[in-house]
Structure 1
Amino acid sequence: MTVRAREWDVTESLEVRRPPAAVYTALADSRRMAEWSPEVWRVWSRGDRFVGFNRRALWVWFTVCRVVVADPGREYAFDVTSFGLPVARWGYRLTPTPRGTQVTEYWVDHRRHGWRRHLAELLGLLFTGTPAVRRAARNRAGMRQTLRRLAATCEAAD
């Protein structure tokens, strides 16, 4: 029997045929995440904080997010918590290319230490139905879909 090692971070990249400033403008409007993400169905935003309402099959959950990097044309990132427990950082790095922008989406799991880790892991399983060892693979697939949808939206804006 093969035991999978837990992955604590994931990155996926895709080139978008739009300049970094245009891609950043789309990403920095957190309410638009529902257009691209396969899990987010609504976002309530207020300043540098927002609540993401998510669903997958029968599971429905929300997360509280705080923007931690807002560097126009370069990077946009936010930390995710649930009931005050650290969950993850999600972000987007933008690199200019001759044809547009290389968009690298990244996820870093923050459920690593102490008693809060175990509670956050349990909530993650209950809310999403995804065991910790399968979380990175699920996020990777979702990131690919998100990036394809983001690219399609940005490129259609031409």
Structure 2
Amino acid sequence: MTLGQPSASGTIEIGASADEVYRIVSDPGAMADLADEYSSFRWLGDASTPRVGARFRGRNRRGARRWSTVATITDAEPGVRFAFDVTFARLPVSRWQYDIRSTSDGCGVTESTWERRPAWLKVLTSTATGVWRRAEQNQHNITTTLRRLKERVESARAR
């Protein structure tokens, strides 16, 4: 699948191994603690671990607004990449991807998202979420999530 340029993306260097970071970014519960809008999850079907094909319902919040989506894991390569496609009522919403590369001091993590909503769905979901400039909001969310990820991993290593 050709993805093209992401609608929002950010990269951060973390003083930890790629495998340590992967364990967190591939854990939907851990990521809910680090994200701005994404707040909780529940595995769907017989899924109980982050593997290709597993699905989970993600719950999101922004102020008083609440909504949920379904994510299907598309990539789960430990220490390298974790990604999932997001849908709402079976309609495409976005793709989220974490690419991890080892460095001499730990690893670099790139979080990216691709907008996939059809134009008519953007109006509906923007009204529901209160976000009319989704790419801009996602850029802010990515920056916040990556900073929190770095703080969590590096503070745990310092103990």
TM range (shorter): 0.7 to 0.9
Q: Is 1:118–2:119 an aligned residue pair?
A: yes
Helix, strand or coil at the partner of 1:121: helix
CA RMSD, aligned part only? 1.4
Helix, strand or coil at the partner of 1:94: strand
Q: Is 1:90–2:96 an aligned residue pair?
A: yes
Runs of 4+ with >6 A deviation: none
Task: Give me the whole-angstrom Cα distance separating, in 2, the residues matched to 1:99 and 1:45.
Answer: 34
1:21 to 19, 22, 25: 19
Deviations 1:18-44 (A, max 9, x none): 000110011111111211101112111
Segments of structure 1 that go 5 or more residues without pairing to the other structure are: 1-6, 112-116
Task: Give me the whole-angstrom Cα distance separating, in 1, the residues matched to 2:99 and 2:125.
Answer: 26
Deviations 1:126-145 (A, max 9, x none): 221112xx111110001000
Equivalent residues, number: 145
State the Cα distance separating 1:118 from its structure 2 match.
3.5
- When structure 1 is superposed on structure 2, of 28-37 and 40-49 the one drifting more is 40-49
Match of 1:49? Answer: 55
Task: Give me the whole-angstrom Cα distance separating, in 2, the residues matched to 1:123 and 1:86.
Answer: 13
Match of 1:39? Answer: 37
1:106 to 89, 92, 112: 112
1:73 to 79, 92, 100: 79
Segments of structure 2 that go 5 or more residues without pairing to the other structure are: 48-53
Task: Give me the whole-angstrom Cα distance separating, in 1, the residues matched to 2:134 and 2:18.
Answer: 29
Helix, strand or coil at the partner of 1:11: strand
Deviations 1:74-125 (A, max 9, x none): 00000000111100000100011111110000000112xxxxx134212321
Match of 1:155? Answer: 154
Q: Percent identity?
A: 34
